[in-house]
Amino acid sequence: MTTPRIGIIIGSTREGRFADTPAKWLIDIANRRGDAQFELVDLRDYPMPFFEETRSPAMVPPANPAALAWGRKMAELDGYIFLTAEYNHSVTAVLKNALDYAYVEFNRKPASFLGYGGVGGARAVEQLRLILAELQVASLKFNVHINAHEFMGILMQGNTLADYPYLETAAGLMLDDLVWWANTMRAGRRAAPAEPVDHTTIARAAGAAA
C-alpha cells in the first residue's frame, strides 16, 4: 500500500510573511521520514477571491477556477498540517476563505497544526478546530507552537528553529500521530466509502421524513 499524502498548508500569503520559516523547517523534518509523502501547499498558488459563489461548496462545486484547483488538491491529500499565524486572536482571513471554498474534499480526514505568534498561535489553532469540525475534519492533539520566545529569538537575534530542539521533538510527536490517523482514516474511507453526511444528505433525509 502506498504511504498517505500529507499537505502542509501555508496559511499566510502576505509579502514578507514569517510562515516560510516554519514551512521550510517542517517539510525538511517531514521529508526525513519514510512513512508519508509530504508536500507544501501554498495559498499564494490558489488566489481565490473573497467567497462569492452562489451556493455553498457543501452543495455544489465552486465555479472559480482557483477554488476548483484548491479543492482538487485538498481531495488528493489524506491529511493536513495547517501552518497558522494568529491575526487578532484568530486564523488569517485568507485561510478561513480557503476553507470556505471546499467541503467534501476535506471530509473524514485528520489535521494537525503548527501555530506561531505571541502564544504560539494557540488561539488561532483552537478557532481552527471549530471551523474544521464543520468540514468533518478530525483535529488532533499533538501540535507545534512557536511562542514569543522562539519567534522573537528568530526575528531579533538571528536564531533559527534548530536552536530550539524541543520544537523538533514536538514536530516528531505530531507527525507520528498524524500519519497514524491518516492511514487509519484512509483505510476507513476505503472500507466504507459511504456518502459522507453533508447538507444534501440531510435535506434528502428531511424530505423523506416529511
Ligand X SMILES: Cc1cc2nc3c(=O)[nH]c(=O)nc-3n(C[C@H](O)[C@H](O)[C@H](O)COP(=O)(O)O)c2cc1C
Binding residues vs ligand X (CB under 6 A): 12, 14, 17-19, 85-89, 117-118
CB of 209 to ligand X, least distance (A): 44
CB of 109 to ligand X, least distance (A): 24
Whichever of 69 and 155 has its CB closer to ligand X, that residue is: 155
Whichever of 19 and 132 has its CB closer to ligand X, that residue is: 19
End-to-end CA distance of the chain: 45
Whichever of 18 and 180 has its CB closer to ligand X, that residue is: 18
CB of 41 to ligand X, least distance (A): 15
Chain residue at closest Cβ approach to ligand X: 117
Whichever of 114 and 185 has its CB closer to ligand X, that residue is: 114
CB of 115 to ligand X, least distance (A): 9
d(CA 147, CA 116): 6
- Residues 134-137: contacts with CB within 8 Å, 24+ apart? 135/99, 135/102, 135/103, 135/106, 135/107, 136/106, 136/107, 136/108, 136/196, 136/197, 137/80, 137/106, 137/107, 137/109, 137/110, 137/111
d(CA 168, CA 179): 16
Residue 77 φ/ψ, nearest 5 degrees: -90, 150
CB of 72 to ligand X, least distance (A): 25
Q: Which three cell numbers stand for residue 126?
A: 483552537
Q: Which helix (H) or strand (E) holds 199?
A: helix 199-209
d(CA 65, CA 71): 10
Whichever of 9 and 104 has its CB closer to ligand X, that residue is: 9
CB of 114 to ligand X, least distance (A): 11
d(CA 80, CA 106): 9
Whichever of 17 and 96 has its CB closer to ligand X, that residue is: 17
